[in-house]
């Protein structure tokens, strides 16, 4: 069920009976010469809406702009300050709780959002307002991704390319796949990410001239469909697990005994 397509009376039965919401989040940032800037939020929305429909949960509109300053050198990349992003996500999540939602799964497709979504979830759990958990699609199916792609690459690589081939194939510049591979860093083993134990980079352009990693020529729509289905299956299982759990069991555990101050006179 997609929230924005419904009228408010049509949502009445849902909020009276259910307490789960799926929130897709991505970015609007460079993904090389072959993929659109919309890549991350397209993937997040497609997975979130599919899983929500299959499992019968509520899916909110997509957050299209995330924490992406590490791609700022490339044309068109948009981003928000990390603090602003955290506060914004926390604010609209608290808005959902007003309508009875107390379990939220952030369906995330952008690595730059991960730690910030975890922090928002920690805040909400600390206040016992909601249980909000970040889900990253490729981390749900790591073995399959590794099996399908020899040189995967965490950004603009074959896994994202295959996904967009499957969900929005018309947006893939297939004539640029070889340029993406040859102008980027196709084999991560050849990268120089560490110097004497320190990460020596802050921006994507520090590691790759065209902004992407991995071998994009290894992507196909068929592989995209395979990973889309596998990730959707994992997301449905997560949503059902969150829905089945008692809210109290999802909250922070109490301080171990003896309780602070329990023996003071």
Domain contains 53: yes
Of residues 186 and 166, more confidently modeled: 166
Domain contains 234: yes
> What pLDDT digit, counting tens, does each position of 33-71 carry?
999 999 999 999 999 999 999 999 999 999 999 999 999
How many domains does the structure of the chain reveal? 1
> What pLDDT digit, counting tens, does each position of 124-143 carry?
999 999 999 999 999 999 99
The percentage of the chain sitting over the pLDDT mark of 90, rounded to a whole number, equals 91
Q: CA quadruple 51, 53, 54, 59: dihedral positive or negative?
A: positive
Domain contains 257: no
> What pLDDT digit, counting tens, does each position of 175-223 carry?
999 999 999 998 877 888 888 999 888 999 999 999 999 999 999 999 9
What's the pLDDT at 100? 96
Nearest to 4 by CA among 26, 29, 31, 22: 22
CB count in 10 Å sphere of residue 116: 22
What's the pLDDT at 88? 98
Q: What is the DSSP string of 158-215?
A: HHHHHHHHHHHGGG--GGGHHHHHHHSBS-GGG---EETTEE--SSGGGT-TTS-BS-
Mean pLDDT of the chain, nearest integer: 96
SS3 per-residue string spanning 207-248: CCCCCCECCHHHCCHHHHHHHHHHHHHHHHHHHHHHHHCCHH
Task: Name residue, tokens 């109490």.
Answer: 254
Domain contains 146: yes
Q: CA-based diameter of the chain, in Å?
A: 77
Task: Kindly tell me if the per-residue pLDDT of 111 is higher than 80.
Answer: yes
> What pLDDT digit, counting tens, does each position of 242-254 carry?
999 999 999 999 9
131: containing domain: 3-249
Domain contains 104: yes
Domain contains 180: yes
Nearest to 139 by CA among 183, 90, 106, 172: 106
Task: Kindly tell me if the per-residue pLDDT of 263 is higher than 90.
Answer: no
The percentage of the chain sitting over the pLDDT mark of 70, rounded to a whole number, equals 100
Domain contains 179: yes
Domain contains 54: yes
> What pLDDT digit, counting tens, does each position of 72-101 carry?
999 999 999 999 999 999 999 999 999 999
* CATH code of residue 131: 3.40.50.10310
């Amino acid at each position: 069920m997609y929230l924005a397509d419904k009228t408010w009376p049509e949502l009445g039965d849902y909020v009276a009976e259910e307490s789960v919401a799926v929130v897709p989040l991505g970015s609007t940032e460079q993904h090389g010469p072959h993929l659109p800037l919309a890549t991350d939020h397209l993937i997040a929305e497609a997975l979130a809406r599919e899983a929500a429909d299959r499992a019968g949960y509520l899916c909110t509109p997509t957050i299209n702009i995330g924490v992406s300053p590490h791609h700022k050198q490339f044309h068109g990349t948009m981003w928000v300050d990390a603090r602003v992003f955290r506060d914004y996500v926390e604010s609209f999540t608290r808005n959902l709780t007003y309508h009875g939602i107390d379990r939220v799964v952030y369906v995330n497709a952008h690595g730059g959002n991960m730690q910030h979504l975890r922090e928002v979830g920690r805040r909400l759990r600390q206040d016992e307002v909601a249980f909000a958990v970040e889900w990253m699609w490729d981390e749900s199916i790591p073995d399959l991704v590794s099996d399908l792609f020899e040189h995967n690459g965490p950004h603009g690589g074959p896994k994202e390319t295959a996904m967009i081939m499957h969900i929005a194939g018309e947006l893939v510049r297939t004539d640029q796949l070889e340029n993406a591979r040859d102008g980027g860093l196709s084999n991560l083993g050849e990268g120089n990410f560490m110097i004497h134990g320190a990460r020596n980079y802050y921006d994507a352009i520090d590691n790759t001239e065209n902004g992407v990693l991995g071998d994009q020529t290894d992507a196909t729509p068929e592989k995209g469909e395979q990973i889309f289905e596998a990730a959707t299956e994992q997301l449905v299982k997560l949503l059902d697990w969150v829905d089945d759990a008692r809210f109290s069991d999802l909250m922070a555990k109490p301080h171990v005994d003896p309780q602070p101050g329990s023996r003071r006179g």
